A = this chain, B = another copy of it.
Amino acid sequence: MKNEKITSRDIDFAKWYTDVVNAAKLASYTSVKGCIAILPNGYAIWEKMQNELDKKFKELGHVNVQMPLLIPEGLFNKEKELVEGFAPEVAWVTIGGSKELEERLCIRPTSETVFCDFYKNYVKSYKDLPLLYNQWCNVLRWEKETRPFLRSREFLWQEGHTIHSTKEEAEKETKKMIEVYKWFHHEILAIPSIIGLKTEKEKFAGAEYTYTNEALMFNGVSLQCGTSHYFGQKFSKSYDIKFTNKNNKEEYAYQTSWGTATRMIGAVIMVHGDDKGLVLPPKIAPKQVVIIPIGNEEEIMKTCENISENLNKNGITTYIDLTEKSPGFKFAEAEVKGIPIRIEVGKRDLENDNITFVRRDTSEKITININEDLVEFTNNLLRKIQNDMYNKALRRRDELTFEAHNLNEVKKIMEKTPGFIKACWCGDEECEQKMKEIKGLKSRCIIENEKLIDEKCVVCGKQAKNLIVWGIQY
């Protein structure tokens, strides 16, 4: 494991990413093209993410359900924009139980259609509303280019699908859920992100509007990390979902959907990782502390056990590395897996009643007396690591966030390094298209609540309408 040759991040970022995924045993390729196996180290991170999000969803009144994996073609085709958006990338089941099917079934790329079909039969009156449903499941999109976690044909995600009796309530839900994703990134993943509206061109197929949560990776490439869509009555009209309102009149319902995925594991790798491997924020680290005995004297082993028991008992997840490898090998292994804190227990230290803490994020060594309150010390250190990781990521993002006032400036920035580019826009799709010609720049989102930095569009020079964050994307 030691130095299972991780390419340097600065030399080849794409190769570095794949090396980290392999060396940390997060995922593995499989015999199905474009589909990965999520291995224990990767899946345990996903479980931590799920726990945090699921708890928050439930606090906000959401409940979990499970809708079918398969969607009949006729049902799938009812909402035109959605079909156009997804049809090219779905997989079709045409044979079931040795027989050709009369109607083929697609594997869900997303489940708006299925929820609509359910709501159509289930919702009768405003008294039945709102329904705040979410599901944790797998979806499939027939991507051409794939990368572990970032873009794979099958992936795991959660998709919330809510239905309301008023426009106001549905819009409030849309906004609330994008704020949840922002909270999740900032507080749990230690990843600063920007939220804002997608442009017409970039919004979800079938949505009236889409909020997005955009993060910047270490190499300056953007990653869309969770979106929240307001559908208004578009789907309810296509799927005929009506309810009797308070005035005893029939009305089409108002809907939203929102989702985030195992892609977040990719974000954590690319924002926090370094040349030694993964670096996990303590809040999603399946194991927060590894204890490594230097030597195998009884006193050392006993001390390791006492520390482990004490920390575990107090809610800090800990394990002792008891394998027969050398300490140096064990250090490297814990580093590649991104474990936030390493505790070294050695003979010389113990003679002075000392043990050594090593931070994964900074490599800082801290020697402390074993008779101190280790639980308090560790908890404080975990909190500090979590905060420092956020701040470090924020500094990196700020370094890579630029302003541009004309196309020349945009080009100059992109020649040096990609990043977030703030620039004003007239609202015209043609100008978006022209930006795309510069290394594939796309509008990531429209920034609200911030002053325009120009009166004119960065492309055409006409009256600016929005301040946009532009970037290239995964």
Contact = CB atoms under 8 A, between A and B. Distances in A.
Interface in A25-81: 28, 30-32, 35-40, 43-44, 46-47, 63-72, 75
Nearest to A88: B98
Contact of A36 (B30, B40, B68): B68
Contacts of A97: 88-91, 142, 144
A137 interface: yes
B107 A93 contact: yes
A61 B94 CA distance: 40
A118 interface: yes
Interface string A222-266: 000000000000000000000000000000000000000000000
B66 A40 contact: no
Nearest to A286: B63
A32 B69 CA distance: 9
A105 to B, nearest CB: 7
B37 A67 contact: yes
Contact of A43 (B66, B87, B98): B66
A69 B97 CA distance: 17
A96 interface: yes
Given A94-B92, A97-B89, A44 B64 contact: yes
A246 to B, nearest CB: 14
A114 interface: yes
B63 A43 contact: yes
B122 A68 contact: no
Given A64-B47, A65-B39, A98-B88, A117 B31 contact: yes
Interface residues of A, number: 53
B89 A64 contact: no
A95 interface: yes
B30 A117 contact: yes
Nearest to A140: B69
A96 B91 contact: yes
A28 B72 contact: no
A28 B156 CA distance: 24
B38 A66 contact: yes
A285 B63 CA distance: 15
A133 interface: yes
A98 B88 CA distance: 6
Contacts of A67: 30, 37
B91 A92 contact: no
Contacts of A94: 92-95
B28 A68 contact: no
B95 A156 contact: no
A29 B460 CA distance: 54
A307 B94 CA distance: 56
B142 A71 contact: no
A138 interface: yes
- Among A63, A87, A144, residue most surrounded by chain B Cβ atoms (within 10 Å): A63
A239 to B, nearest CB: 11
A322 to B, nearest CB: 14
Contacts of A91: 70, 93, 95-97, 105
A72 B32 contact: yes
A97 B88 CA distance: 5
Nearest to A141: B97
A154 interface: yes
Nearest to A138: B69
A37 B91 CA distance: 21
B71 A32 contact: yes
Contact of A64 (B32, B40, B69, B118): B40
A142 B70 CA distance: 12
Interface in A142-158: 142, 144, 154, 156
A434 B131 CA distance: 53
A65 B93 contact: no
Top 7 nearest A-B pairs by Cβ distance? A97-B142, A40-B63, A35-B68, A92-B95, A38-B66, A91-B96, A96-B142
10 contacts: A35-B68, A37-B66, A37-B68, A47-B64, A66-B138, A69-B140, A70-B154, A87-B98, A91-B93, A91-B97
